Amino acid sequence: MPLIDMDHTVLHYTDRPADTSVERGVDIVLLHSFGTTARVWEPMLAMLDRRHRVVALDARNHGRSGASTSSSLNDNVSDVTAVIGRLSLDRPVIVGSSVGALVAVAVAARAPESVRAVVSVGGASHAPVTVPELAAAMTAMVEGLRTDPESTIKAVTPGWFGPLVGPRVHDWVAEQMREMRAEAIAIADDALIADPRATLAALPVPVHHLHGALDPIPAAIARESAELSPLATITVLERVAHMPHIEMPGWFAGWLGDVVGAADDDHRLGSSRWARP
């Protein structure tokens, strides 16, 4: 089982190597959402082009990674930055789901020379500090996970999905949520007060926003985030909610392949390729 010891915190990851019989593609790092695990990427992983090396990380206090008394947003950013170096990843595209998108953006801001592009999937961005009803719902979820995790997991998980998946998928994700340690809630606390708008505006790498029209996080937030940077794109999917990589895995794998394929062709950071006219 692939493990990395990061200053007394052991991180689990999966590492799908690139196919050596074809020309090597871009490395990809997959970051899951709060409460889930790297398993959320499994439905689409087999459909992703084999040219790419793909690393999917279990965040600290999630899945098969070890326990840690500290689990802040900054801790997770440090983990991912270090993993890129420890695994000798070559300027990967970092794909982050939900809170994982906050981590991905912060990693790119901290070490832009180490990141080729960021993909924000259902990213919360500045929604918790600008949309009061969402902030209230997220706060209730976090408090519920502290006081009554089982009931909270059962209540919130179905709301992350649109009509394309049903109870079996909801239960599969809830199963992962039950593996989360209580200390992991610290990153959700940070997400409630995060406002990455200034970071996005200054980010020197492309950011590709993918958002479901049915996501509890308004698609308008993703559009606002994309408008902050000339190096950004935005795609909004109908009939999809918070986890398009689970709801439409085949489509997602193809879309992500296009994103990283274009990144593979573009060797100039800040190229006008991604700039809006």
Does residue 121 surpass a pLDDT of 60?
Answer: yes
Instruction: Give me the residues paired with residue 31 across strands.
Output: 57, 96
267 contacts: CB under 8 Å, gap ≥ 6: none
- Sign of the CA dihedral 97, 100, 101, 107? negative
Report the percent of the chain where pLDDT is more than 90.
Answer: 88
How high is the pLDDT of residue 1? 64
Judged against a pLDDT cut of 70, whether residue 275 lies above it is answered with no
Q: Characterize the bridge pairing of strands 93-97 and 117-121.
A: parallel
Beta strands 28-31 and 9-16 are unpaired
pTM over 0.75: yes
Domains in the chain, start-ordered, CATH in brackets? 3-265 (3.40.50.1820)
**pLDDT-derived band at 6, boundaries 50, 70, 90:** confident
